[in-house]
Amino acid sequence: MKEILITVILCATALIGLRLAAPKAEPQQSVIEAIHARRSIRQYKDTPVEDSKLMEVAKAGIAAPNAMNRQAWAVRVVNSREWIDGCTAAFVPTVQGTPMGEHLLTPDFKNMFRNAPAVIFVAAEPSLFAGVDCGIMAQNMMLAAYELGLGTCCLGSPVPFMNSDAGKPFLQSLNLPDGYTLQYAIAIGYPDQNPEAKPRDESKIQFVK
């Protein structure tokens, strides 16, 4: 009996020691804090994004509220460097000599998605609320990415290119449902910058009583 009591005491002492040695969990950031801390990232590390994290981001997207829960959207995740490089090679000639070319084709230019190693495309079935539904989805995905230590930038410029003759093969490779139209692309990767917040005009908010 004495041996059993000693064993119990030793086990309890070991457990207490483990609890004291364990690192304290970081306080969880609130949703509101994450909203204010998230930034649009335009510089990324070359580090590939894990498929598991990309899936988490996409799943957060389709959890978004949408009109009548029709879920009339399609999400396509591309992390193939060959695909991204091929799409970029077709894109560059279409913007050279234009204001967009001057804006995008900087000395550190690698690809048309802000040099991100992955990109998420969102398409939708045309409807009155498609833009609203997909906009909410984008915010879900960008906040989820932020929580996972990733950066994002919502991009509209790839859309006209993907709908052009030069971009058509890449649009077709996304295998979107018939009749669906591309809404935007989200560059996603590990951030290589920490931009400051841009000021917001709070006078846009008014209470109507």
Residue 109, pLDDT > 70, answer: yes
Residue 110, pLDDT > 60, answer: yes
pLDDT of residue 131: 94
CA distance 158 to 92: 11
Which value, to the nearest 10 degrees, does the dihedral of the CA atoms of residues 79, 153, 158, 126 take? 100
Contact 185, 113 (CB under 8 A): yes
Output the pTM of the full model: 0.85
| Chain segment 167-179, per-residue pLDDT in tens | 999 999 999 999 9
Reported confidence tier of residue 26, pLDDT bands at 50, 70, 90: low
Q: What domains can you pick out in the chain, each with its CATH number? A: 37-194 (3.40.109.10)
